[in-house]
Structures are given as structure tokens and as C-alpha cells.
Amino acid sequence: MSNAYSKDLERWLPRLIAVWRASRGKGDGPEGRLTPQEVKEVGAGVKQLSLGLTRERQLAGARYMDDPRLLGAYLLFYWPVSYAQARQVLGELPNRPRHVLDLGSGPGPVAFAAMDAGASEVTAADRSKPALALALKLATEAGEALATREWDPLKKNAQLPDGQFDLITMGHVVNELYGATDEALKPRAALLEAILTKVKKGGSLLVMEPALRETSRNLLKVRDLLVERGYGIRAPCMYRGPCPALVKETDWCHAERAWPMPRVVEELARTAGFHKESLKMSYLVVAPKGEAWPEPPPGRLFRIVSESLEGKGRQRYIGCGPEGRVGLAMQERHRAEKNERFFHLQRGDVIEVTDLETKGDGFALGENAEVRIVAQAGRGVPPGPPKAPEAPAAPQAPTPVPPVKP
């Protein structure tokens, strides 16, 4: 996460703590910091949320934000994490959104991330009244205007808020809808299709999910259903066919970003007994129906979709680009100034590579290989030249009609 994002988040932390204390009726305590007793209390709630949402999954789909203790734990731990994740992904949008709808907003981390990224009108929608109330209190603390709406996708005939939006966001929502089996995939895709009708031309739907294997693979399966129905993916995918990460059951695809963890988050993570040294999430940015996939810039492009797979005498990654998901490897002896960047890539970087030789499950970069960063992780891929329209087919000579015999 860039320094600018870090500074924005640091400004939110005292507000989060102040709103949390006020919601408990206990306003005393050091500004911007938690007391040891508060850390212990909130840490227990964070541990319960983590078990319920990422391990045992029994809280997925439950109304946990109506529980004051769990809502408080979410506000002080998962809110900063979700905000930072959203700021990363928002950096990949092709246009700065002005009018934003955040569905399943909770107390608004993604909504406020969009606001800090330049949105001028933001609406937060959720089924939890207590979560929306906290979002409004945060907006008051920050001196920002935030509209709120109640929205429950599981209610029969649930209506989306009126209007059309440049961006609709769904942060860690879709994986909790319609159950935990493959039967949930089609209704999830249908919901996203309905939501996409509210996205303006040139706008996007951003779906962000946990980086767990199950939730990531399910998001990719929903992606494939949308792609089958003619939707284009703005990010992170450049491959236009069925997702190649689904071929093997052991594969999945997620983003990972380094970030300077705020002190409050670090204390709560330590108390809850787990490490959170980086931001991990899965995400899709989907274009509305009828809009083409973005044209990539020229060259052989790959998004790095793995950590470094460094071996003896070589560097290796998994890349995914217009030609699919492949291994990319280079021997240390071929290292040179023109390909030095290959040895320092981050998951999410998009690179252009030359001098590739087919080898094993992918490509080896030869001694003449050049490696250029097209887009760093968290940045949008520059658009390539638009495709030239296909030349109209030459007119066919009319088929002669045989004369009618008298």
C-alpha cells in the first residue's frame, strides 16, 4: 500500500476507536490507541470472527454485525484491512468513479475507501441497522456526507437503490450468500447480473472476497458464468476463456500486497493469535453487459499470480496472461540489466517479456530476454490500441435465377 493510502488510513483509526467507544457508552481512553484491557476484549471478538468467517465458516451468512461485540471487533480490525484492500483494488479502475454504491457495506470500509479515492457521492447499503448507524457516525466524525440504505439480497423481491452508478462495490459479501455448496454459484452470478444493470456505461462492478482457497475458487467459478454470458473482466484477468486456475483442484488465484500494518491492527492480530503481515484478497472488476474486454498493450504480457518460486540457480513464477496460465523461469546465469526486474517481481505485477522458449508447463526466459514492468501491482494496465474494425465482407454476386420455362 502506498504512503498516501497509509496516511489516509491513519486518519481513520482515531475515528474508529472514538465511534466504537461511544457505541459502548465508554468514551474514555487514549486518543487513537486502545488500552490493554480494550485490546484483550476486542481481540477475543476478532478471534471469534476469524474462526467463524475464515475457518469453520459458521458465521458466513449469519447476522453477526447485529452483535455489538462482533461489530466492534469488525470495526477495529477488519475495517482497516478491508479499507486497505479496497484502496489497492480501486487503483486498477480505468476511470475515477464519482457516484458509488457499496452493497453489503457493513460499517463502510469500502465506501469510505471509494470516497478517499475521489468519489463525490457514496451510498452504503446493508441489512444491518447497527452497522449502517456506525457508518453514519464515522461519516459525521470525518465531516463527510454518506447516504445509507437498507438492503438485504436474501429478501424476496429485494430492491436495489435507485439510480445508476459509476462503481458498485461488494466487499466480502458474495461468498456469504446462498449457502456453501456449488448450488450457490448460479444465484450469485444472477445477483451480479442484476446489479450490473445499475452500472453506467464505462463503469464497473468490483467484487472483493477473502483469499481462502474455497472462496477464491468460487469467485472464479462465478467469473466463468459471467464470461459465458458475455461479460468482460476489467481486472485482474487478461485471459478471456474459462479460468485456467480452476483446472487443478489445488490451484486458486488471489492478490497479495505488502502494507505497513497500523499499530491497532497489529496489537489485535497478536492478541487473537494470528499474523497478518500482508493484505490478501481475491477480486474481480466486471464491466457492464455489452462492453468489450479491455485491449491489452502489445507484447507478450503476464500478470504474476504466485509468490516467488525461487530454486537453486533460477527464479520462477506463475504468470497468467492472454495466452493462459503458465510457468515463467529464468536461470541465474542469464541474469542481465535488461531482465534484472524478473528477479524482484511481486504478485500482481504485469510484465512484458521477450525471448521465451517453451519448456515444461510454461516458458523459459533465454539469455536475450527482456523484462519490462507494464503495471505494478495495484495499478491499472494501460490500454492497448483499439482493435481495428473488421473489414466488411465483399458483396456476393447474386445467385442467377434459372429462367422459368413456359
Q: Would you list the domain boundaries of the chain? A: 4-286, 301-375
Would you tell me how many other CB atoms lie within 10 Å of the CB of residue 298? Answer: 9
Average pLDDT, the chain: 90
CATH C-level class of 301-375: mainly beta
Q: How confident is the model at residue 398 (pLDDT cuts 50, 70, 90)?
A: very low
Closest CA to 175 of 342, 307, 53: 53
Would you tell me how many other CB atoms lie within 10 Å of the CB of residue 232? Answer: 18
Asked if 4-286 and 301-375 have one fold, the answer is no
CATH fold of 4-286, please? Rossmann fold (3.40.50)
pTM equals 0.91
Which pLDDT score is estimated for 56? 60
Average pLDDT over residues 115-140: 96
Condensed to tens digits (0 to 9), the pLDDT of residues 40-92 reads: 999 999 888 887 766 666 666 667 788 888 999 999 999 999 999 999 999 99
Which pLDDT score is estimated for 64? 75
How far apart, in whole angstroms, are the C-alpha atoms of residue 311 and residue 330?
10
Q: Is the dihedral of CA 305, 308, 309, 312 positive or negative?
A: positive
Q: DSSP string covering 282-306, please?
A: EEEEEPPTTPPPPPPPSSEEEEE-S
Q: How confident is the model at residue 405 (pLDDT cuts 50, 70, 90)?
A: very low
How far apart, in whole angstroms, are the C-alpha atoms of residue 406 and residue 220?
67
Condensed to tens digits (0 to 9), the pLDDT of residues 298-335 reads: 999 999 999 999 888 999 999 999 999 999 999 999 99
Q: How confident is the model at residue 158 (pLDDT cuts 50, 70, 90)?
A: confident
Q: How confident is the model at residue 375 (pLDDT cuts 50, 70, 90)?
A: very high
